[in-house]
Amino acid sequence: MKICVFGAGAIGGYMGAKLAQAGAEVSLVARGPHLAAMKARGLRLIEEETGTDETVPVRVAEDAAELGEQDYVIVTLKAHSVPPVVGRMQPLIGEGTTIVSGVNGVPWWYFHKIGGPLEGTRLASVDPGDAQWTGFGPDRVLGCVVYPAAEVIEPGVVRHIEGNRFSLGEPDGSKSERATRLSQALAAAGLKAPVRPKLRDEIWVKLWGNLSFNPISALTHATLDVLCTDPGTRGVARAMMLEAQVIAEKLGVKFPIDVDRRIEGGAAVGAHRTSMLQDLDLGRPMEIDALVGSVQELGRITGTPTPAIDTVLALVSLRARVAGLY
Ligand SMILES: NC(=O)C1=CN([C@@H]2O[C@H](COP(=O)(O)OP(=O)(O)OC[C@H]3O[C@@H](n4cnc5c(N)ncnc54)[C@H](OP(=O)(O)O)[C@@H]3O)[C@@H](O)[C@H]2O)C=CC1
Ligand SMILES: CC(C)(CO)C(=O)C(=O)O
């Protein structure tokens, strides 16, 4: 079974290293100094939870054409990096290839096989010009919610902080053979990869946090524990999450917890600088469209007012534009 991880940075590097350690036939697509370091020395994975530090030989490439057709292509790019590289990914894709979308935010395939009047709706915020819808085709897609926290601390070195769950789910909720096979391969690599019948419910619980905590942290430079307990920012996060809840429930989502519990979960993470704040600090493009703009777009599609989301989106977009990152 051939697996390619496309965009093997923090999350893809972690997943790729675990698969390689378990003997899977895995290759990684990366670029720049990180690619060069992995080529020269292998991928060093430091796992904080277990205290392990191992350098894993990995097959890496910049050009997908070197790797050929795959059974699974696991996309672990930042959301905005995917549409421009759909063309370059084509050599990896054959008739039986499954594309696993391991990207935060509302996925571009959200309305595929959802049923009802919105079936097949495309999302311009995450898939401008329908690049993924037409270039991959939604039938190839297996959804994935990424829970681990990891970072590239220097080229060729991934630090895994915590978590090992990659929930998988078919857009139609079925327990397909392709989902089961990948789940087994990830489990053999020591990762948790349950196949979920209602992945969209999980997407929204994760998104609740990313939608609100990430832009608020980028605007205030506060860590999660602070922004989730400060009465003012907690109120802003709560308002955004309640708007998102109305949208999601109109789309058939059932939340297993309420917003206050989700915010308490964020606070419990501690003095974490969200990925959007890290991107701003490091001068990297920010995932604003996938995490915030996409929910605003869903608000428009479902006829739901989103005043709090609109306000924070306007502020964080301008903050990012002023920094040249959006
Ligand atoms: N890191 C985390 O803890 C978590 C991340 N996520 C989500 O997972 C996804 C991936 O995030 P993360 O791993 O942090 O991101 P990273 O930026 O660490 O990884 C993406 C990698 O893809 C590379 N890349 C970008 N474009 C190309 C290209 N055209 N060809 C080859 N390589 C390319 C990047 O290189 P370069 O650096 O040069 O741009 C980078 O190494 C995001 O959606 C994120 O929100 C979800 C949960 C936690
Ligand atoms: C904020 C957090 C921890 C979850 O909402 C996250 O996923 C991020 O930093 O991007």
253 phi and psi, to 5 degrees? -80, 145
What is the mean pLDDT of the segment spanning 108-125?
98
* Six token digits for residue 286: 């920010």
Q: Is 206 designated active site?
A: yes
Q: Angle 160-154-75 (CA atoms, 0-180°, nearest 5)?
A: 60
**Cα distance between residue 133 and residue 123, in whole Å:** 10
Q: What is the pLDDT of residue 205?
A: 98
Ligand 2 site-directed mutation target among 11, 166, 224, 288, most atoms within 8 Å of CB: 224
The ipTM assigned to this model is 0.97
Counting ligands in written order, the one closest to the CA of 211 is 2
* Six token digits for residue 8: 């093997």
Q: Which residues are 101's β-sheet partners?
A: 75, 143
Counting ligands in written order, the one closest to the CA of 228 is 2
Q: What is the mean pLDDT of the chain?
A: 97
Q: Which residues are 6's β-sheet partners?
A: 29, 75
Distance of alpha carbon 200 from the chain centroid: 13
Find the residues whose C-beta lies inside 6 A of ligand 2.
209-210, 213-214, 224, 266, 269, 272, 274-275
Reported as half-sphere exposure (CB side, CA atoms, 13 A), residue 91 has a value of 11
Distance of alpha carbon 232 from the chain centroid: 28
Q: What is the pLDDT of residue 171?
A: 98
Banded model confidence at residue 192, pLDDT cuts 50, 70, 90: very high
Residues 207-246: pLDDT tens digits? 999 999 999 999 999 999 999 999 999 999 999 999 999 9
What is the mean pLDDT of the segment spanning 278-293?
96
Q: Is the pTM of this model over 0.95?
A: yes
* Cα dihedral sign, 87-93-94-96: negative
What is the mean pLDDT of the segment spanning 309-317?
98
Percent of the chain with pLDDT over 70: 100
13 phi and psi, to 5 degrees? -65, -45
**Cα distance between residue 31 and residue 179, in whole Å:** 28
Banded model confidence at residue 110, pLDDT cuts 50, 70, 90: very high
What is the mean pLDDT of the segment spanning 65-85?
97
**Cα distance between residue 269 and residue 149, in whole Å:** 11
Q: Does residue 275 sit in helix, strand or coil?
A: helix
Q: Angle 173-176-181 (CA atoms, 0-180°, nearest 5)?
A: 130
Q: What is the pLDDT of residue 90?
A: 98
Give 228 Cα–ligand 2 centroid separation in angstroms.
12
